[in-house]
Amino acid sequence: MGMGYTPSPRLQTSLSGIALRSPILLASGTAGTIDEMNDVMDITLLGGIVTKSITRHPREGNPFPRITWTRAGMLNAIGLANPGLDAWKADIAPRISAVSNNIIGSVAGDSIEDYVQIASAMDQVQSIPAIELNVSCPNVHSGLEFGADPAALTELVTAVRSQTPNTKLFVKLSPITVGTPNTIVDLARVAVDCGADGLTLCNTVPAMGIDVHTRKPILANTTGGMSGPAIHPITVRLVHLVYSQLTKDTNTPIIAAGGVTRWEDAAEFILAGATAVQIGAGSFADLSIPRKVAKGLDKWCVKQSAASISDLVGQVKLS
Ligand SMILES: Cc1cc2nc3c(=O)[nH]c(=O)nc-3n(C[C@H](O)[C@H](O)[C@H](O)COP(=O)(O)O)c2cc1C
């Protein structure tokens, strides 16, 4: 679907060597398993699309209702509904090369073997430039455990890295480390030390809503993951911490996700240290948001006298 906006060269950027037309990606789970969004928005202005997380076996996900809106964003407990690896290989993988944009494959699993099997299958698909490891889904048990435990994360990222020689590897972390002995910087360092080429920060924040009339949880799963504007400032801080304490030195790009609904939200992420941003709940609410964010970022570059958006990465002025 053409809407007649071509991102200016100022928005072109590189994500560990992957050329992006703009720093704006669609977040995993919010944009289908391939290019479904092409029917409703101009995907050519994007830097790419992250697929729904694929698991070894097909998953129906959690019972309904599994999405609800709150005043400050969306609460979901989809539970990784997806067609599974075999159907992905048969039906989706062969179509990826026809998509005129970067398709990043998202992987989730219950075990290291699952992650390795899916990631290595994605690695064989020439048109996939990068894989994002979802080790932070709040709506199933296994993923978050991998993402919160340095020993498990070490084993997982090392194992996947050794089986994905052709693709870049991004690790997507949880924003929540409260109650665990490790900070997000510790976990990010583990991922980078084990060979991650990029960090996606972050997944949703565990949350809950209650219907006061029925006194029942709104989501059938009781709890879910919060996304949208409420989590944006929380995520800005995490991007800032990881950038300033780790990736500034290791040169590892950060892909920020959390509540981008206006260009200023994306700009804040970039100043905090993100090379690219993902839009999730925002494009559920309003399909024109990615285009508005792209246009706003371009004007911002001009006003900031930046020849390239990449010149603004990490450029927050700290006193
Ligand atoms: C309906 C829905 C489904 C999601 N499914 C996935 C998923 O399969 N894998 C994943 O890594 N993240 C998933 N996420 C998390 C998003 O990719 C993103 O990290 C998060 O929503 C924060 O960004 P946002 O505030 O722009 O939505 C999902 C989010 C939503 C709202």
Ligand 1 atom closest to the Cα of residue 53 is 8
Q: Is the separation of the CB atoms in 229 and 79 below 8 Å?
A: no
Give tens-digit pLDDT for 272-314: 999 999 999 999 889 999 999 999 999 999 999 999 999 999 9
Pick the atom of ligand 1 nearest to 80's CA. Answer: 8
Burial class (CB in 10 A: 0-12, 13-18, 19+), 198: buried
In this predicted structure, what is the pLDDT of residue 54? 97
Residue 297 has which token pair?
Answer: 């970022």
pLDDT of residue 140: 74
**Residue 319: per-residue pLDDT:** 86
Does residue 48 have its Cβ closer than 6 Å to ligand 1?
no
Quote the mean pLDDT of the chain.
Answer: 95
Among the ranges given (2-16, 35-49, 125-139, 202-216), the one the predictor scored with the smallest mean pLDDT: 2-16
pLDDT for 128-158, tens place per residue? 999 999 998 877 766 677 899 999 999 999 9
The pTM of the full predicted model, rounded to 2 decimals, is 0.98
Does ligand 1 come within 6 angstroms of the Cβ of 116? no
Ligand 1 centroid – CA 38 distance (Å):
19
Q: SS3 for 171?
A: strand
Cα(140) to ligand 1 centroid in Å equals 13
- State in Å: Cα 109 to ligand 1 middle: 16
Angle between helices 184-193 and 150-162 (to 10 degrees): 30
Give all domains of the chain, ordered by start, each with its CATH number: 9-312 (3.20.20.70)
Mean pLDDT (whole number) for 244-273: 98
* Nearest residue to 191 via CA among 236, 262, 255: 255
Q: List active site positions.
A: 137
